[in-house]
Amino acid sequence: MCWHLGAGPRGLYPAPMHLFSDNATPVCPNVMAAIAAADQADHGYDGDAWSARLDGAFSDLFGTPVRALWVTTGTAANSIALACLCPPYGGIFCHEESHIVVDECGAPGFYTHGATLMALPGEGAKLSPATLVERSKAIRPDVHQVPARAISITQATEYGLVYTPDEVAAIGRVARDRGLGLHMDGARFANAVASLDCHPGDVTWRAGVDILTFGCVKNGGMAGEALLFFGPQADARAAEAARWRKRGGHLLSKGRYLAAQILAMLEDDLWLNNARAANAAATALAQAVPTRLLHPVQANELFIRLSASEAASLRAQGFDFYDWGEGAARLVTNWAQDAASVRPLAEALKALP
Amino acid sequence: MCWHLGAGPRGLYPAPMHLFSDNATPVCPNVMAAIAAADQADHGYDGDAWSARLDGAFSDLFGTPVRALWVTTGTAANSIALACLCPPYGGIFCHEESHIVVDECGAPGFYTHGATLMALPGEGAKLSPATLVERSKAIRPDVHQVPARAISITQATEYGLVYTPDEVAAIGRVARDRGLGLHMDGARFANAVASLDCHPGDVTWRAGVDILTFGCVKNGGMAGEALLFFGPQADARAAEAARWRKRGGHLLSKGRYLAAQILAMLEDDLWLNNARAANAAATALAQAVPTRLLHPVQANELFIRLSASEAASLRAQGFDFYDWGEGAARLVTNWAQDAASVRPLAEALKALP
Amino acid sequence: MCWHLGAGPRGLYPAPMHLFSDNATPVCPNVMAAIAAADQADHGYDGDAWSARLDGAFSDLFGTPVRALWVTTGTAANSIALACLCPPYGGIFCHEESHIVVDECGAPGFYTHGATLMALPGEGAKLSPATLVERSKAIRPDVHQVPARAISITQATEYGLVYTPDEVAAIGRVARDRGLGLHMDGARFANAVASLDCHPGDVTWRAGVDILTFGCVKNGGMAGEALLFFGPQADARAAEAARWRKRGGHLLSKGRYLAAQILAMLEDDLWLNNARAANAAATALAQAVPTRLLHPVQANELFIRLSASEAASLRAQGFDFYDWGEGAARLVTNWAQDAASVRPLAEALKALP
Amino acid sequence: MCWHLGAGPRGLYPAPMHLFSDNATPVCPNVMAAIAAADQADHGYDGDAWSARLDGAFSDLFGTPVRALWVTTGTAANSIALACLCPPYGGIFCHEESHIVVDECGAPGFYTHGATLMALPGEGAKLSPATLVERSKAIRPDVHQVPARAISITQATEYGLVYTPDEVAAIGRVARDRGLGLHMDGARFANAVASLDCHPGDVTWRAGVDILTFGCVKNGGMAGEALLFFGPQADARAAEAARWRKRGGHLLSKGRYLAAQILAMLEDDLWLNNARAANAAATALAQAVPTRLLHPVQANELFIRLSASEAASLRAQGFDFYDWGEGAARLVTNWAQDAASVRPLAEALKALP
């Protein structure tokens, strides 16, 4: 449960160093340059030259044929993905603290026309195959109960944990065995892959993922995530998704500016390099406070024990972040930081009594 | 969680004495007579003489102005009620084992256009004011989170427990204080009122209930429940509900046959007498197996510890019912039974080793 | 456009002879007897013995494997059928005066989650293949425009006209060539088949119809229409429809009373005999006023020129019906009438100056 | 009906001078500069400093309190506006050739959960009060028919015509008298106001408009239209719209880049100056071919008679545009053009034999 609005003392903003969210960061210069380069006349919607390159660029990156659509936001991408996998009377297994459950104001219910989010527990916002199987077995195969039709997992999770390739594959097998579609919310997919140092295919299509929300905005983009479709149903689902994108009002008439941002992310591994920088910053902070960590730090988020007076002390020194309930705080590092740049905060954390 | 289909061994049906569900029972003779009496030409839909009498009949019964609509099923009645109380982006507090959560294939999500059922725990499928308040406070007042807009409680609950007037009133205060609508699923409302021996108003409008699903089918009807609207918004909500009834395909063209059934239920306290008979049967059975009870028996449902071999023994003697997971069984008594008629089963239960 | 509510002077009701609607008629005695015969304990929902016989009974009648579901109303049956044939972003070709367009308060939009009714003109509320092809060609094959996915025709039409087997087959070919599903609203299917004196398969599955709403209520039933699925996708669509039936709140817990009515309709050709009686009554009336007819009389509806004073004169003689705009009237005959029984009205019509 | 995709021969793109659509134009430099200036850290979603200024900026511009929300696209803005004005079972009067009817793949049906677009005819894609009243009167006030709840008009229309303040006010009176909400699709609102040379309030809130889609993208923006709410219900509707914006996936996490674009549009009358340039270009072209015009040219669109060979001749000279059915073409001028810059095309048009 993310207290991202209104929970922390704001004061003068921007703080000298803020760790509210990777959303609050400016746009990465390479992305801004790509936007400027795309500032030409071209056909509207996704009929432009940039949009036409997305399939190829992602197919190259993932080492398999991929169908790629730009979508304005992660919420829209997630919801459209789920609408492609689950009928209105179906259910979607997901974590009870996932973004689709707690932070999208029911958008998945809107796009799926009322499908049920079947919220499950799990340490660190991770789903386990055992939990999925157990819950699945409890559903009667009659018309009175909502049948499960999809699974949605988040990579990295809302608590900054990462599913290994084996872990995703184990969930992929549950999905395959039970005829469920598998969606991955990759708002911080880059951070996860950078952390795992694996091929992006290893935690997606090779592990049974059908649709991936490939996040860009938190990683240095302005607007625009990529919705990626893998496997034999990719074409049919992408065609369906293109309808939802239009019908949801997400088919921007000047789509080339979104496509250009996404392509820029893929060029020269910008997506990974940005994520590595953010991860390195988080690791540096984690090393400063090993005993305060509420979760292992595997990507770019830290959840730490922090009393109200400690939080106040840090804020007095110019560091800002969100409180996380009582006695805890969430710190999110971003692409514009690295281990060196967060050293002052690391020192301040160490210096806490 | 009701294993009402396929869970128990069926064998020859009907069994000499079945306690599967009050749904499986025939229609009460008075209701059948009312249907025959309504078999005349009249205006279609709800333009007939019987439908016109519903408001008055229920206003008399409840001692307050009531707007009443017949609806085909309890699922439709519940869903339409919730659609009147909650916008698509809102949430409805309800018990995690309530019928609307586990047995309606997402119908509330259909009629509300994707509102969220916020499932809460509670002993015996009852909601407590404390749980409601606590969950309510955990929702951030921003657009990212689904705001609660309604509460739905079941009277009697799925485990056959009954909310007292004070208990309903306490929930009614939570609803009023937080601006939430209050719906009562009264599929077994008659059994609850018969059990409480109170005025029907005491557990509804006087306690803050806005909309009541007044069940008839389990209590001897053929088809047709009444959807009742109380309070200053009754007219507006009933007008809205009439739209949903039509749009959902529930405005039967020969509605008089539904209205006649419901009116018959109210005549000479048939609804209460039928419920008293069913309750008495349940009480008689409960007294036979006081140490086996998983829940107090307050209406017409028993949940008892029962091993597989014990269940088999009872079935061999001609008594049938549903298993309730492993080592337990659910027995539902109905309007056509009473303490005397279930004596053979009571004896058989007592005789179990 | 049917002015079925509030348009005509009501006076004392029922009139000595009313022709408001076949909905206003009582239930046919055979159907009432079938309801009484079904008044036994049995499993709930559609787990009973009567419901189990529907597939077989309709397969026999149509001479092909049929999947059959009982549904409460024609509006629900039509809407569920369309939801099985058309995605939310698709369109359904239909007549601009069809029941689904003008008399269901948007129910098809509700069940399909917002599909578009593409209303087309056509004499006597009939669609022509040429109109369908022309409109179809005007749709751009891009994501900006709603793609047609289904056709819905009414048999007999809202003006009492009947599609011949050849006419249905011609529409069926348009559907097949363009990948559209074909639904037939058969609220008065019996009247059409009785009029055509053909095999029911000739105007349905042999002519390309995928789903038929087989009407019973206007033809002597109390509640309950049959939704029939033909062809290779019948099983998949029926399974989908069963979800919508439940989710829409139409899975009555005592479904046996609906199934029994429908089965009674099929026994000894009751459906055809009832329809023949109604048709004969309409024909007799039509023969009395050949020069007043606004449409040919092919089933059980007459639309006639009738001045306000003429209407008043007939009403004064005890005949009632709905006005149809200014200077016209609609007369609907029903199963309880025949040529002989409407003779007084025929005489009165002839006697008009 | 706009053949905006695939209808014209493409060849090398961009053509030396294209008039496909104002969507195909690059972003106006002032807007690009505003995006760069907003490239700072700030709170996410609409919690930033730019978003906070929208209400004030639009209130100043319109001379009345305005609630303003940025929305990603015109389709989303229109749909959200309609969802604020019309319930799912309601209807929206609109022109049969309006963008919401023919070019949004049913998005209004998606956001309104199935409301009916009641498409009406009208010269030049304009609605007349008489047509609205007449169609309104034909709706029976019963639950069987969809009740009208809103009117949507387009300013300038899809054929480049403009409603005068009096014309809007006349429609506003129809809306008020019948309790209908009034929405204006202002994708080209700037072109209309520039053409009328009136105060923007004269064709909106003073004339009865409740919600305005204030277009920016066609007028030089990159992404982002403003949704404006007027009148006593502005606050409540804006709060509702904020829910739909989030739930539809349109609450961009870096919303400041949208807000900054919109604010830039308002600065120093950029919106009007851009529109005046586009209008001047259209007027210059219209003066070159007065006898070919299919509609009066009042904003920035021309619809002209043009044979296939004439079209080919123009394209051979480097001018490109969309065909408009057979024998006609649509030319759309944009903010980056003016009377001088389109002179070569004007000459070429005049020189056609």
Q: What is the pLDDT of residues C263-312, one digit of tens each?
A: 999 999 999 999 999 999 999 999 999 999 999 999 999 999 999 999 99
For residue A3, what pLDDT band results from cuts at 50, 70 and 90?
A: very low
- DSSP state at residue D293: B
Domain with residue C65: its CATH number is 3.40.640.10
Token pair of D154 as six digits = 């387009």
How far is it, in rounded angstroms, from Cα C77 to Cα C176? 22
What confidence category does residue D24 fall into, taking pLDDT thresholds of 50, 70 and 90? confident
Chain C closest CA to B109's CA: distance in Å?
Answer: 9
Query: Is D195:D163 a contact under the CB 8 Å cutoff?
Result: no
Q: What is the pLDDT of residue A16?
A: 65
Q: How close B250 comes to chain C (CA, Å)?
A: 7
**Is any Cβ of chain D less than 8 angstroms from the Cβ of A254?**
yes
Name, in order, each residue with C-beta under 8 angstroms of B230's C-beta and a sequence gap of 6 or more.
B62, B64, B66, B204, B205, B209, B210, B211, B212
Give the closest-approach CA distance of C205 to chain D in angstroms: 30
Q: Give mean pLDDT, residues D300-327.
A: 95
The reply to whether B43 touches chain D by the CB within 8 Å rule is: no
pLDDT at A14: 44
Question: For the residues B223-244, what does the mean pLDDT come to?
Answer: 98
Look at B223 and C110 and tell me if their CB atoms are within 8 Å: no
- Residue A141 to residues A145, B7, D85, Cα–Cα distance (Å): 7, 11, 41
Residue that is written with structure tokens 């609509």 in the block: B69
**Spatial distance between the Cα atoms of D195 and D327, rounded to a whole number of angstroms:** 28
Domain presence at residue A59: yes
The 10s digit of each residue's pLDDT in B127-164 is 999 999 999 999 999 999 999 999 999 999 999 999 99
**Domain's final residue, options D208, D237, D269:** D269
pLDDT per residue as tens digits for the range D224-242: 999 999 999 999 999 999 9
Contact D254 A43 (CB under 8 A): no
D140, C6: Cβ pair inside 8 Å?
yes
At CA B140, angle to CA B138 and CA B144, rounded to 5? 130
In this model, does residue C148 exceed pLDDT 60? yes
Task: Output the six-digit token pair for D2.
Answer: 């706009």
| Mean per-residue pLDDT of chain D | 94
Residues A44 and A67 both lie in one domain: yes
Q: Assess whether B183 and B208 both reside in one domain.
A: yes
pLDDT of residue A17: 83
C43 lies in a domain?
yes
Flag whether B332 is in a domain. Answer: yes
- β D91-95/D148-154 pair status: parallel
pLDDT value at C10 more than 50: no
Q: Quote the domain boundaries for residue C99.
A: 29-269
D291 and D189 fall within a common domain:
no
Nearest CB to C5; choose among D104, D106, D142: D142
The shortest CB-CB distance from D247 to any of B89, B242, B244 is to B89
Region of B118 on the Ramachandran plot (φ > 0 left; ψ -120 to 50 alpha; else beta)? beta
How does DSSP assign B275-298, residue by residue? Answer: HHHHHHHHHHHHHH-GGGBSS---
**Number of compact structural domains in chain A:** 2
| Nearest Cβ partner for C105 among D117, D138, D146 | D146
pLDDT at D193 over 80: yes
CB of D191 closer than 8 Å to CB of D275? yes
Report the run of H or E that residue B91 belongs to, with start and end. Answer: strand B91-95
- C-alpha–C-alpha distance, residues C68 and C57, integer Å: 9
Please tell me whether residues C262 and C347 are part of one structural domain.
no
Give the pLDDT band (50/70/90) at residue A206.
very high
In 3-state terms, what secondary structure has residue C243? Answer: helix
Residue D2, pLDDT score? 33
Task: At B262, give phi and psi (nearest 5°).
Answer: -65, -40
Q: Please, what is the Cα angle at A193 between A188 and A195, to 5 degrees?
A: 95
Residue C130, token pair as written in the block: 């040429």
CA distance C269 to C217: 16
Say whether C106 and D114 touch across the interface (CB within 8 A). yes
Instruction: Please determine, for residue A324, whether its predicted confidence score (pLDDT) is greater than 60.
Output: yes
What is the interface pTM, i.e. ipTM, of the complex? 0.94
Contact (Cβ atoms closer than 8 angstroms) between residue D29 and residue D340: no
Q: Do B248 and C107 touch (CB under 8 A)?
A: yes
Answer yes or no: is pLDDT of C205 > 90.
Answer: yes
Based on the fold, state whether residues C343 and C263 are members of the same structural domain.
Answer: no
**CA–CA separation, D148 vs D182, rounded Å?**
11
pLDDT average, residue stretch A66-70: 98
Does residue D3 lie within any of the structural domains? no
pLDDT in tens, D268-290: 999 999 999 999 999 999 999 99
What CATH number is given to the structural domain containing A283?
3.90.1150.10
Residue C177, token pair as written in the block: 């060539």
| Interface membership of C87 toward A (CB under 8 Å) | yes
Asked whether residue B341 carries a pLDDT value surpassing 80, the answer given is yes
Residue where a domain stops, chosen among D204, D235, D269: D269
pLDDT of C16 reads 65
What value does the mean pLDDT of chain B take? Answer: 94
Q: Can you tell me the distance from the alpha carbon of A294 to that of A32, in angstroms, rounded to the nearest whole number?
A: 36
**pLDDT bucket at B214, cuts 50 / 70 / 90:** very high
| pLDDT reading at C190 higher than 80 | yes
The pLDDT value recorded for residue C41 is 86
Q: Is the peptide bond before D14 cis (omega within 30 degrees of 0)?
A: yes
A183 assigned to some structural domain: yes
Residue A308 lies in a domain: yes
Q: Are residues C291 and C242 in the same domain?
A: no
Quick: pLDDT tens for D201-211.
999 999 999 99
Return the minimum-mean-pLDDT range out of A13-27, B250-264, C167-181, D281-295.
A13-27
Predicted local confidence at residue C5, as pLDDT: 34
| pLDDT tens digits along B64-79 | 999 999 999 999 999 9
Do C257 and C110 share a structural domain? yes
Residue C325 contacts D where some CB pair is shorter than 8 Å = no
Assigned domain for A107 exists: yes
State yes or no: pLDDT of D178 exceeds 90. Answer: yes
CB contact under 8 A, A105 and B146: yes
Among the partner-chain residues B144, B240, B244, the one whose CB lies closest to the CB of D246 is B144
**Same domain, residue pair C183 and C75:** yes
Q: Which amino acid is at A227?
A: L
Q: Is A344 inside any structural domain?
A: yes
Answer whether residue C315 shows pLDDT above 70: yes
**CA proximity to B218, closest of B106, B333, B124, B323:** B333
What φ, ψ does residue B86 adopt, rounded to 5°? -140, 130
Is residue A111 located within the same domain as residue A140? yes
User: What sections of C63-119 are H helices per DSSP?
Assistant: 74-85, 99-102, 107-111
Identify whether residues C132 and C178 lie together within a single domain: yes
Residues C98-136: pLDDT tens digits? 999 999 999 999 999 999 999 999 999 999 999 999 999
CA-CA distance, D61 to C135, in Å (whole number)?
Answer: 44
Specify the pLDDT at position B18. 84
Is residue B232 domain-shared with residue B311, that is, in the same domain?
Answer: no
Kindly state whether residues C87 and C143 are assigned to the same domain: yes
Residue D343 pLDDT exceeds 70: yes
Residue B9 has pLDDT above 90, yes or no: no
Task: Say if residue C57's pLDDT is above 70.
Answer: yes
Q: Is the pLDDT of residue C9 over 50?
A: no
Q: Determine the pLDDT at residue B133.
A: 98
Q: What is the pLDDT of residue B7?
A: 32
Last-in-domain residue among A268, A285, A304? A268
Evaluate the omega torsion of the peptide bond into residue B14 and state whether it is cis, within 30 degrees of 0: yes
Q: Which residues, including other chains, have CB under 8 Å from residue A107's CB and lie 6 or more apart?
A: A75, A76, A78, A79, A100, D246, D247, D248, D249
User: Between D300 and A1, where is the model more confident?
Assistant: D300
How many Cβ atoms sit within 10 Å of the Cβ of residue A166?
10
Question: How many angstroms separate the CA atoms of B299 and B297, rounded?
Answer: 6
Nearest CB partner across the interface for A249, out of D25, D217, D250: D250
